[in-house]
Amino acid sequence: MKSCWYRVTVNTPVFLEEIITYKLREFGSEGIEIKSLNNETLEIISYHRSPVVKNGVESRLVESASIAFPDREFTITVEAEEHKPRDWLKIQADAFGITRITEDIIVLPPWEKEKLKPADRNKTKIVINPGAGFGTGEHPTTRQCIIALRDYLRKGDKMLDIGAGSGILSIAALKFGAREAYAVEIDDDAVKNGIENTGLNGFESRIHWHHGSMKTFRCRKKFDIIAANIFTYVIMREAEEIKKYAAKSCRVIFSGITTESAPVFIKAISRRGYRLIDTFPEGEWQTFIMELI
């Protein structure tokens, strides 16, 4: 039997990225590419092993988006087609080059090391082999989290990375002076990718991976800085569990929140005992630094 992929291409407003990618994964996506068409529109490409019915996907996406944003007008277009066999991880890798988070922080794949300029020698370099784990430095929420870690992490801190993906935030934390990091990730392929990246940066003994959720995570340690770059609904669901692992004066980084939903999120998370101390915005995305009351 011929093996092939089925590709779904969704054009959507930026503020719907979270809900669209979440629903596509519900539909069985095995890989997602996100391309910015302009400041307001994204092209989200999702690869599936099973046939996808265009009208069915489109109606479900519109329905979910309407429930999440009842007061916003938007247009979603969907195209679905049979695609030649291909490796979506290779697609991701081919599109991934050197990403400059700031003037002094660089994210790069291992094959780009030779292309660094002499002026980059003393900069913070995070090596990421793109794979199933989210986090290559190209998405605004990842960049925001890295900058937040740079500004709020103290030398010797212990870090908890929730929804660690590629491990990029745990790696960044150690680059900025953290003593160790615990990375929690529910996706098996992402964990494998994260462990690989841990090794590429020489942190095998200092980044500890847990394959599971916060419900299955068991650790007696308290953490000085906690990062959660995940879906907003997951943050809200895990907010009480996260508090159990916070040391005194812990700083908590919450990311993945759209500008549209930020006021509601801040109000809801405040009721759970968190207080806002700083904000890192970029486009339609917000990252918050919080402390426990």
- Which pLDDT value is given to residue 1? 39
Domain boundary among 26, 53, 86: 86
Cα angle 284-289-293, degrees, rounded to a multiple of 5: 135
Shared-domain flag, residues 109 and 64: no
Do 129 and 263 lie in a common domain? Answer: yes
Q: Distance between CA atoms of 95 and 265, rounded to whole angstroms?
A: 33
**What's 253's domain CATH number?**
3.40.50.150
Q: What is the mean pLDDT of each run of 10 residues along the chain (293 residues)?
A: 74 88 80 80 86 86 87 91 64 68 91 84 89 68 94 97 94 98 90 93 96 93 95 88 95 90 93 96 90 94
- The reply to whether 248 and 150 lie within a common domain is yes
Boundary-marking domain end, from 68, 86, 104: 86
CATH number of 49's domain: 3.30.70.120
Q: Which domain holds residue 193?
A: 96-292
Indicate whether 81 and 149 sit together in one domain.
no
CA dihedral 107, 180, 281, 244 (to 10 degrees): 150
Same domain, yes or no: 119 and 31: no
Both tokens of 132, joined, read: 């199933």
* Max Cα distance, the chain (Å): 60
Tell me the residue ranges of DSSP E strands in 151-284: 158-162, 180-185, 207-211, 223-229, 246-258, 274-282
Q: Which residues contact 173 (CB under 8 A, 6 or more apart)?
A: 149, 153, 157, 159, 161, 181, 225, 227
What b/e string do you get for 161-197 counting C-beta neighbours within 10 Å, with b at 16 or more?
bbbbbbbbbbbbbbbbebebbbbbbbbeebbbbbbbb
Q: Are residues 129 and 171 in the same domain?
A: yes
Given this model, what pLDDT does residue 184 score?
Answer: 96
- Mapped onto helix, strand or coil, the DSSP state of residue 183 is strand
Same domain, 238 and 273: yes
H helix and E strand count, the chain: 8, 14
Write down the pLDDT at residue 54: 84
Counting the structural domains of the chain, the total is 2
Residue 197 contacts residue 166 (beta carbons within 8 Å): yes
Q: Choose the final residue of a domain: 59, 86, 113.
A: 86
Question: Are 115 and 238 contained in the same domain?
Answer: yes
User: Residue 226 — φ and ψ, nearest 5°?
Assistant: -125, 135
Place of tokens 């979506």: 88
The answer to whether 141 touches 167, Cβ cutoff 8 Å, is: no
Residue 91 located in a structural domain = no
Q: Is there a domain that residue 199 lies in?
A: yes
Per the CB < 8 A criterion, the answer to whether 86 and 131 are in contact is no
- Inside any domain, residue 176: yes
Find the Cα–Cα–Cα–Cα dihedral 37, 42, 48, 50, rounded to 10°: -110
Local structure of 246: helix, strand or coil: strand
Do residues 239 and 261 share a domain? yes
Model confidence pLDDT, tens digit, residues 41-53: 999 988 887 888 7
Full-model pTM: 0.75
